[in-house]
Amino acid sequence: MAAADVRRDAETPPRNEASHTRRVSSWREHHGWSAGASLRRLAARPLGSLLTIAVMGLALALPLAFYLLLGNVQQLGKALGQDQAINVFLQPDQAASQAQLLAKQLGDRSDVASVAIKTPQQGLDELAKLQGFSGALDALEQNPLPFVLMVQPKPGLDAPTVERLVSDLREMHSVAQVQDSGTWRQRLDALLGVGDRVVIALALMLALAALLVVGNTVRVDIASRHEEIGVLLLVGASGAFVRRPYLYAGIWYGLFSGILAALLALAIEFALSGPVARLSQAYDGKLHLGGLPLWLLAVVPLAAAVLGWLGARLVSAWQLRKAV
Amino acid sequence: MGDLAPCIPYPCRDTAGSRRGRAVIQFDKVSKHYDGGHEALSQLSFTIPTGEMAFVTGHSGAGKSTLLKLLGVIERPSHGAITMDGQNLAKVRGRGIPKLRQRIGMVFQDHRLLMDRSVFANVELPLAIAGIARVERGRRVRAALEKVGLLSYERQLPATLSTGEQQRVGIARAIVGRPSLLIADEPTGNLDPQLAVEIMGLFAEFQQVGTTVLIASHDLPLIKRMRKRVVVLDHGRLVADLAAEEVL
């Protein structure tokens, strides 16, 4: 370096030497460097990094597994509910024309999917098929059974709506009795409501746990590099510059653990697929239990990356406040 | 060196262009107390004009390092004001601190190099922090390494270098950002006399091109040999302020 160069250098005000464009370019370059350097640091201590990612991944997979279970119980409840038609027993003196008129009226309701009529003879034939009844039925002089309307509520109705439908049916003039499975459906809905809350609470708690895991890992990382941080600050690095590699480390931890959590959830889903198929067969294929939606599997790693960034951001801000 | 000779008292004669004659550093009744009541500096007042090279000396615990820490905003004065180019350092806060430090080159006795990065990467740090483009960074880093005689070592890790070479890397890192002020805390403390003279020669060269240089050292023979202004501290008090020609 010639003395003249040094003089020219010395007389150039440092704060104006880089244009805005250059600064943005350099800023992007440092982001790239930070992302790469933090990834290399993770790879440099594979066991520690894998343990951190495994702990976070398991913590995030747990609410996903509960979500999967809850979703399937909901599906199961709906599927079983579909088979549980409301049986409406008409007064014994009701004629076939009256039964058909009532069936049409009910079929027009917005909360009713379909109405099937079971004639007294059909009822009698069913009873005849049951072991031990044939002899007793032969002794009857006339068919004592009434017309029965099998009302199928619209799928997806909540318990209060079905309850209202049943209540309306009971109040009908020509109806003698209504058989409904609404009580168990109501209980199941209540249980699923509790399950929803449990999943949300669990997800929040385990997200907090994941945040703390990342935070602690980054804290240890910062503590082990405090001399480097001191040097960077002394040569003019801003807090943001120093923090950047640690924030990327948090993002990597979060992203990888989110991917692991999604893979674990898929593994659970795969493990359940066999028993679910058998259960579905038991219901003549009417039971379709669902897996985790694709959008959720895509969102989990991204959300985990944000979580990792947040944990690293909080801890690094606190740690760097103590630095030079 | 005649034209650039420091002059006491301030203001000195303007012999090196428009930048000279303006106080770059001014200590005005500066005191520093640490927790527990220890007084590291007491009512310290002196001025160092732009482009001057000066030594701060005194026995161990005299306050030399504290003085440099105040300039680097590593410590804050308990009383008084320190100004650099008219800017009161006590009032610099937040994002102002890194901006200020980018204008100061710091050299340490223990070098403070990043041992897991190459010589090039160490010297490049201040430029990367300042947002200098990659090509320009490369040019300047090589120029700085050439200046300290370490251009061929740019790919090596600092641990493979001798103590003197590591110190020169530290100096290259301090000057690569074109600081207006270069401060050094016992930069020759770990070096043999011959190397110490070489390092001091480097500082003198930077002063000759307009950089203000302030060096804390207790190596009196070396200070006498350099024949620069000397500020003498004793228990945090200014006991002597000798112009170059007064140093014997």
Q: Is B110 on the interface with A (CB under 8 A)?
A: no
**B194-203 burial: b if 16+ Cβ within 10 Å, else e:** ebbebbbebb
**Is there a single domain that holds both residue A70 and residue A205?**
yes
Give the pTM. 0.71
Query: What is the DSSP-derived secondary structure letter of residue A214?
Result: H
Question: Is B109 within 8 Å of B52 (Cβ atoms)?
Answer: no
**Is there a single domain that holds both residue A130 and residue A254?**
no
**Is there a single domain that holds both residue A111 and residue A161?**
yes
Name the band, by pLDDT with cuts 50, 70 and 90, for residue A250. very high
Paired with B27 in beta bridges are B46, B82
Cβ-Cβ contacts under 8 Å, A5 against chain B:
143
Judged by CB atoms within 8 Å, which residues 101-160 of A form the interface with B? Answer: none
Chosen for mutation from B99, B101, B146, B208 (greatest number of chain A CBs closer than 10 Å) is B101
Residue that finishes a domain, picked among A122, A148, A180: A180
Q: Do A17 and B74 touch (CB under 8 A)?
A: no
Question: Is A21 within 8 Å of B221 (Cβ atoms)?
Answer: no
Q: Taking each helix axis from N to C terminus, what angle separates A182-224 and A159-170, rounded to the nearest 10 degrees?
A: 170
Query: What is the DSSP-derived secondary structure letter of residue A14?
Result: G
**Is there a single domain that holds both residue A67 and residue A94?**
no
Paired with B118 in beta bridges are none
Q: Which residue has the higher pLDDT, B50 or A187?
A: B50
Q: Is A28 on the interface with B (CB under 8 A)?
A: no
**Is there a single domain that holds both residue A66 and residue A199?**
yes
Report yes or no on A7 lying in a domain. Answer: no
Token output for B61: 């615990």
- Total number of domains in chain A: 2
Q: Is A30 on the interface with B (CB under 8 A)?
A: yes
Nearest to B133 among A22, A232, A234 (CB): A22
Report yes or no on A27 lying in a domain. Answer: no
**Is there a single domain that holds both residue A144 and residue A256?**
no
Round the average pLDDT of chain A to a whole number and report it. 83
Minimum distance, in Å, between the CA of residue B109 and any CA atom of chain A: 13
**Is there a single domain that holds both residue A311 and residue A247?**
yes
Query: In a structure prediction context, what are the per-residue pLDDT tens digits for chain B, which is 248 residues long?
Result: 333 233 222 233 333 333 333 448 999 999 999 988 888 999 999 999 999 999 999 998 899 999 999 999 999 999 999 999 889 998 898 889 999 999 999 998 888 999 999 999 999 999 999 888 889 999 999 999 998 889 999 999 999 999 889 999 999 999 999 898 999 999 988 778 888 888 899 899 988 888 999 999 988 889 998 989 999 999 999 999 998 888 76
pLDDT at A2: 44
Cβ-Cβ contacts under 8 Å, A227 against chain B:
112
Report yes or no on A9 lying in a domain. Answer: no
Range of the domain at A118: 86-180
d(CA B206, CA A217): 44
Report yes or no on A300 lying in a domain. Answer: yes
Chosen for mutation from B178, B205, B206, B211 (greatest number of chain A CBs closer than 10 Å) is B178
Indicate which CATH number applies to the domain containing A115: 3.30.70.3040
Q: Is B114 on the interface with A (CB under 8 A)?
A: yes
3-state secondary structure of B77: coil
Report yes or no on A21 lying in a domain. Answer: no
Query: What is the DSSP-derived secondary structure letter of residue B21?
Result: T
d(CA A48, CA A71): 35
Report yes or no on A283 lying in a domain. Answer: yes
Q: Do A3 and B134 touch (CB under 8 A)?
A: no
Report yes or no on A143 lying in a domain. Answer: yes
Q: How open is the CA angle A112-A118-A121, to the nearest 5 degrees? A: 175
Cβ-Cβ contacts under 8 Å, B95 against chain A:
238
pLDDT tens-place string over residues B102-145: 999 999 888 899 999 999 999 999 999 988 888 999 999 999 99
Q: Do B133 and A231 touch (CB under 8 A)?
A: no
**Is there a single domain that holds both residue A194 and residue A305?**
yes
Question: Is B177 within 8 Å of B28 (Cβ atoms)?
Answer: no
Name the band, by pLDDT with cuts 50, 70 and 90, for residue A66. confident
Cβ-Cβ contacts under 8 Å, A235 against chain B:
101-102, 106, 125-126, 129, 173, 177
Residue that finishes a domain, picked among A180, A197, A229: A180
Report yes or no on A26 lying in a domain. Answer: no
**Is there a single domain that holds both residue A68 and residue A104?**
no
**Is there a single domain that holds both residue A95 and residue A214?**
no
d(CA A194, CA A207): 20
Name the band, by pLDDT with cuts 50, 70 and 90, for residue A173. confident
Cβ-Cβ contacts under 8 Å, A322 against chain B:
none
Nearest to B143 among A1, A231, A239 (CB): A1
Q: What ipTM score was computed for the predicted complex, to two decimals?
A: 0.83
Residue that finishes a domain, picked among A180, A213, A234: A180
Task: Report strand pairing: B104-108 vs B87-88.
Answer: unpaired
**Is there a single domain that holds both residue A194 and residue A298?**
yes
Token output for A248: 């990327």
Question: Is B56 within 8 Å of B216 (Cβ atoms)?
Answer: yes
d(CA A174, CA A99): 9
Minimum distance, in Å, between the CA of residue A188 and any CA atom of chain B: 58
Q: Do B131 and A22 touch (CB under 8 A)?
A: yes
Residue A74, number of CB atoms within 10 A of its CB: 17
**Is there a single domain that holds both residue A192 and residue A300?**
yes
